[in-house]
Chains A and B, each alone.
Chain A
């Protein structure tokens, strides 16, 4: 399982980091609202922070972002000088247990390749939170039900999928060197999973593993992980839940 994720999640993000980062600049409204509601001095973690696009939403909280992909973590560090980052695995996090006022995990848990590992990932976030009533986490996963998206999946589609990512030309040669800031404007027009017709060897798509969540499945996973769902819903092709510990 871990080896499969290494090939179909970790290695892919390492290769596509700058292109991926350049397509990730718009915060989702639910995430924005969650972060903005936190009182000054709150301390939190962003597990799977990617390029760090959520680290600067609320300047009056302190966030330690972490990601399995070192190239994305470096981009995040440059983008968020008032916050901090670390390279870490969601299943072996270096954070102090029972310590954090809040946690975010946006578009991360769907990359774990078995139900047991997804539940374990949620449990590993819950144990870092302060007890019930004091700490809360926002979880966000890709939905199976997205008939109106360009992928067109619906509730009868396969839940475990490999989704291609094709690097656009400007990111092929120096995909590891470029920083998000310098490429933002030129790649505004590019979107995730750009289907560039190109027959050369390098344009072979990178395949990322996803588990697409069905309605209610995220909440079930949270309960199996020993958590309590405070609120949940659907936003733009994703399921989200705000959760806390039960103890």
Chain B
């Protein structure tokens, strides 16, 4: 599971959905790996506004990373009109050195950091979800459904 994904996951137990303690789930006993995936500044710069930054800082700490306390500011890149949706987009804007550094950092933390083994714990009900071979298992035992 990617660190990015933890920003969109909460406890699967219905009674926990309304509790602020059910998000983010808390990582425990994790084993991490870095995977190499294509760098996509267009995606990253547009994803940034969608992130719950305080939750991301919390999740990062649990994995041993330190992120800035406040969300970095980045220009939102756009695809050129010439791009025809075949995935081969050209950026019509260039980014400065600092922005590039921020984008690379986000890429590494959000996209390339994988929790291979570990647990995610709900701060509301205490249920522990297992992560095995990078895949989180959110199936509930029947008494919690």
Which residues in A have some Cβ–Cβ distance to B below 8 Å? 2, 36, 39-43, 58-62, 64, 66, 68, 70, 73-74, 77, 81-82, 84-89, 91-97, 99-101
Contact = CB atoms under 8 A, between A and B. Distances in A.
B85 A43 contact: no
Interface string B64-100: 0000000000001111000001010100000000000
Contacts of A93: 12, 138
Contacts of A86: 1, 5, 9, 135-138
A60 B50 contact: no
A43 B47 contact: yes
Given A81-B35, A82-B38, A87-B136, A41 B8 contact: no
Given A41-B43, A92-B145, A84 B137 contact: no
A60 B43 contact: yes
Contact of A92 (B42, B43, B138): B138
Contact of B12 (A59, A73, A92, A101): A92
B50 A43 contact: yes
B34 interface: no
B61 to A, nearest CB: 20
B2 interface: yes
Interface residues of B, number: 44
B133 interface: yes
B139 A87 contact: yes
Given A40-B79, A59-B87, A89 B139 contact: yes
12 contacts: A41-B45, A41-B49, A66-B138, A70-B137, A73-B135, A84-B2, A86-B138, A87-B135, A92-B139, A96-B9, A96-B23, A97-B17
Given A39-B46, A60-B46, A82-B38, 19 more contacts: A40-B77, A41-B46, A41-B47, A43-B47, A60-B40, A64-B9, A74-B135, A81-B35, A81-B37, A84-B4, A85-B135, A86-B5, A89-B138, A89-B145, A91-B145, A92-B138, A92-B140, A93-B138, A96-B23
B59 interface: no
Closest A-B pairs by Cβ, 10 of them: A41-B46, A94-B138, A88-B138, A94-B12, A84-B5, A40-B46, A87-B137, A92-B12, A86-B136, A41-B47
Interface of B: 1-2, 4-5, 8-14, 17, 23, 35, 37-38, 40, 42-43, 45-50, 76-79, 85, 87, 89, 111, 129, 133-140, 142, 145
A99 B12 CA distance: 15
Contacts of B11: 94
Nearest to B85: A36
A101 B85 CA distance: 19
B135 to A, nearest CB: 6
